[in-house]
Amino acid sequence: MGSTRLLLYAARRLLFIVPVLLVALFLVFALTRIVPGNPVDRVAGPYISNERRAELKHIAYLDRPFYEQFALYLRDLSHGNMGTSYTTAQDVSKDLRQRFPATFELVTYAMLFAIAVAIPLGIAAAIKKDSWIDSVARAVSVLGVSMPIFWLGLMLLYVFFYFLDWLPGPVGRTGSATVFIKPITGFLTVDSLITGNLDLFGQVVKALVLPCFTLGFVAMAPIARMTRAVMVEVLQSDYIRTARSLGLPFRVVVLRHALKNAMIPILTIIAAVYGYALGGEVLVEIIFSWPGMGQYSYNALLSSDFPAIQGFVLLVTLLYMVIYLFLDIANAALDPRVRY
């Protein structure tokens, strides 16, 4: 596979993102505009004059038909303007830039934790089928998909914050620290280390523990399950038997030969869970008062903040598509049979 062909493939996939984004945006427009009630009434309250109300509607394009609003939004978007949020009164792009790092940091650490536990667990369960470690893997994957994530968060908060008081309560990213640093990357673990603020770093890490564990535990289940299922199948295949009969050490066979071939479905499920978590950890953010995109979208929905909802959907859909693009490229790199 030539690298130019891979680039061409990536370019084609990137082009495919555009129509998907358009359709997703159109759906959001349709969904928000059919709802009775007008955001102007909710934002401005009942005590403004009718002229002012009409003026506000005009500024937000809300006096125009639905398809014109859509066209105007696309026009503004092409100039890099995502509109102004009705609730925060600043650019949606700025809002999202402020909140994205919080979500990204939380989800990434949670996924790293989930992967670090789930893949070894799945491999061990596959090697020692029907042993105690297999039972543990099974329990983890069954419990992880059975527990309501917001309830798990609450229970952990009760034990580690209320009862034991080891970890900070649901007060956001810095726990009890009131230090404020100017965001450099927006990722507080990185920023606090760059500025050498070890005290803040400790607080940030402590604040991350519970939300990360909550999200990670739920993310762990499908990954462990998939790893076990694929590894069981791969370990029974002929080439593994051959590799073993050639006298290769078991570790090498498992890690280099079996795992490499099992990686494609495992990566697929990781990408799916990661994409899901990036947009879907609303409940975790609400429980832990985490100032990320999930809470932003929730508040935007509750206050009919149309530009904010649109911006959020645009960003999340884009992230999702990019994750899948990376996945496909990784698959192509891992599997020589993949033609593109």
Partner 1 sequence: MAIEEIVAPGSSVAGPPPVVGRFGDLVYQLRGNPATFAGLFIVGLIFLSALLGPVLARYDPYGVNLGDAALAPSFTHPFGTDQYGEDVFTRVVVASRLDLIMVLSAVALSTVIGVTIGAIAGFFGHFFDEGVMRSQDVLQAFPRFVFAMAVAWALGPGVTTVIVATAAINIPGYARLMRGLMLSVKESQFALAAVAVGNSRWRLLWRHLLPNCLTPVIVLSTLQCGFTILEAAGLSFIGLGVRVPTAEWGVMIAMGLQDFLQGHWWIYTFPGLAIAVAVLGFNLLGDGLQDILDPKRRRV
Q: Which of 286, 329, 330, 338 binds partner 1 (CB under 8 A)?
A: 286
Q: Where do we find the tokens 């005590």?
A: 47
Q: Please, which residues have CB within 8 angstroms of residue 91's CB and are 6 or more apart in sequence?
A: 81, 82, 83, 84, 85
Q: Which stretch binds partner 1 (CB under 8 A): 41-49, 78-86, 120-128, 309-317?
A: 309-317
Among residues 154, 264, 267, 329, which is the contact residue for partner 1, using CB under 8 A? 154
DSSP H or E run through 237 = none
Nearest to 296 by CA among 86, 39, 33: 86
- Window contacting partner 1 (CB under 8 A); options: 2-10, 29-37, 55-63, 85-93: 29-37
How far, in Å, CA of 58 to CA of 194, rounded? 46
According to CB under 8 A, which residues from 248 to 277 bind partner 1? 275-276
> By CB under 8 A, is residue 34 in contact with partner 1?
yes
Interatomic CA distance for residues 267 and 332, integer angstroms: 12
Q: What is the nearest approach in angstroms of partner 1 to the Cβ of residue 49?
A: 28
Between 70 and 312, name the residue whose CB sits nearer to partner 1. Answer: 312
Minimum CB distance to partner 1, residue 28 (Å):
7
Among 49, 146, 178, 245, binds partner 1 (CB under 8 A): 146
**Smallest distance, Å, CB 111 to partner 1?**
15
Residue number, 90 or 237, with CB nearest to partner 1:
237
Residues 56-115 close enough to bind partner 1 by CB under 8 A: none
Q: Determine the Cα–Cα distance for residues 327 and 322; give it in Å rounded to an integer.
A: 8
For residues 325 and 10, is the Cβ–Cβ distance under 8 A? Answer: yes
Q: Does 211 bind partner 1 (CB under 8 A)?
A: no
End-to-end Cα, the chain, rounded Å: 9
CA gap 257, 243 in Å, rounded: 8
Q: Decide if residue 278 touches partner 1 (CB under 8 A).
A: yes
Q: Are 92 and 308 in contact (CB under 8 A)?
A: yes
- Cα 233-239-242 angle, rounded to 5 deg: 125
Q: Does 117 bind partner 1 (CB under 8 A)?
A: no
Alpha-helical runs (H) found in 195-281 = 198-235, 238-245, 250-252, 259-280
Q: Which is nearer to partner 1, 175 or 192 (CB)?
A: 175
- Binding piece for partner 1, criterion CB under 8 A, among 6-14, 79-87, 252-260, 295-303: 295-303
Residue among 320, 321, 324, 293 at smallest CA distance from 309: 293
Residue type for position 313? V
Residues engaged in binding partner 1 (CB under 8 A): 20, 23-24, 27-28, 31-32, 34-35, 142-143, 145-151, 154-155, 157-158, 162, 275-276, 278-280, 282-283, 286-287, 297-298, 301-302, 309, 312-313, 316-317, 320-321
